[in-house]
Amino acid sequence: MAAEVKTMRDAMINKICQEMQKRENIFFLSADMGAPTLDEIRTKFKDRFVSVGIAEQNLINVSTGLALEGYIVYSYAIAPFLTMRAYEQIKNNVALMAQIKRDMNINLLGVGVGLSYDMSGPSHHAIEDMSIMRALPNLIIFSPSDWVLAEKFVDYSIKIKRPKYARLDGKPVPRIYDGGQKIDFQKGFCELVAGEKVCLVATGVMTQRALEVAGDCLKNGMKVGVLDIFLLKPLNYDSMYEALKKYECVITMEEGFINKGGVDGLVSDLLNTKQLDVKLINLGLKDRYVFEMGNRNYLHKLNYLDKESVIKVVKEVWR
């Protein structure tokens, strides 16, 4: 079945545009970052679309001011610049302030996480964002694996009046959620494939890879589970424990640094907190930047995140 392919940002921005039509209390701010679907917002809502220029720090600060006055704000920029150029603005004016001001609705939309900007090199890669954003209290972290989730986020973002960071992939992705699965923001994850013995726990675009791996493994008689974490924070530990306890081995997959508090750290803490005796293997990027040129699949191959490399790891633990 050919799945419909779209970018997460286009799906999300389309839905935001519909909401802006219905509601007067939404602002959309961009740090000189566009999208095909953004043009509609730019032309239709001239007084509520603001281009702050190439100025991520001011993007966060202006968004804060608008949110303090009760507006729902979407703050849109390239992920590495949004999270790292403006990190202290996010700490002080978003995370810190939200502990006192309980209804600040700022939604940071970071586009191009992980190695999305494969050809642009390491300045444009965002492989630290999960680790550093997880460090901030009072911040919800959304990490969708397909455009359906990205679209669903918009309702959630309006309903939950708290700061959020949505980490969006830059490339078009096929849909994973076709209506057959329950998208539960209370849980924060979805067990896409129920398996035996081994479970792949992934987030973002790596969930797409995990599904490919599980598909191939099944052909070889290995029924591998796939669990997609789309809300890195808050995550329901109890439900996740229930989902993982039937497995003997958990393999985490992320397009980010490992051993620095990303998905690997999250799952490790869960297993530790719940005293779950499961073998844990962490796949991701080692402690070095990726200068190598080539498309994303090539970069995955170099870093053992391609389908074949992951299948090899599964085969080793399956025995």
Partner 1 sequence: MNKEDLIEFEEECCHETDVTKLLAEKSAWVRKETLRIHKTCREIRIASCLSDIEIFTVLYYGKILNIRPNDPLWGGRDRFIVSKAHGAVSLYPVLADFGFFDRRELERVCMENSIFGSIPDCRIPGFETINGSLGHGLGVACGIALALKRSGKNANILVLMGDGELNEGSVWEAIMFAAHHRLDNLLLIIDKNEKSMLDYCKNAIDLEPLDEKFKAFNWKTEIVDGHNVRELYYTLKKLKEDRDGQPKVLIANTVKGKGVPRLEADPLCHIKSLEPHEIDEIIGGLDNGCRS
Residues of the shown chain interacting with partner 1 in the complex, contacts defined by CB under 8 A: 47-48, 50, 52-53, 55, 57-58, 60-71, 88-89, 92-93, 96-97, 100-101
Question: From CA 10, how far away is CA 7, in angstroms rounded?
Answer: 5
- For the bound state, the minimum distance from the C-beta of residue 55 to partner 1, rounded and expressed in Å, comes to 4
Least distance in angstroms from the C-beta of 157 to partner 1 = 18
Question: Can you give the length of the chain in residues?
Answer: 319
Q: How far is the CB of 76 from partner 1 (least distance, A)?
A: 15
Long-range interactions of 258-261: CB distance < 8 A, separation 24+:
258/282, 258/283, 258/284, 258/285, 258/286, 259/287, 260/128, 260/131, 260/287, 261/130, 261/131, 261/134, 261/135
Decide if 284 contacts 262 (C-beta within 8 A).
Answer: yes
Nearer to partner 1, 48 or 296 (CB): 48
Query: Are the C-beta atoms of 185 and 158 separated by less than 8 Å?
Result: no
Nearer to partner 1, 54 or 194 (CB): 54
Nearer to partner 1, 49 or 185 (CB): 49
Q: How far is the CB of 302 from partner 1 (least distance, A)?
A: 36
Q: What is the smallest separation between the CB atom of 71 and partner 1, expressed in angstroms?
A: 6
- Closer residue to partner 1 in complex, CB, 162/197: 162
Residue closer to partner 1 (CB basis): 33 or 190: 33
Distance of CA 310 to the CA centre of its chain: 21
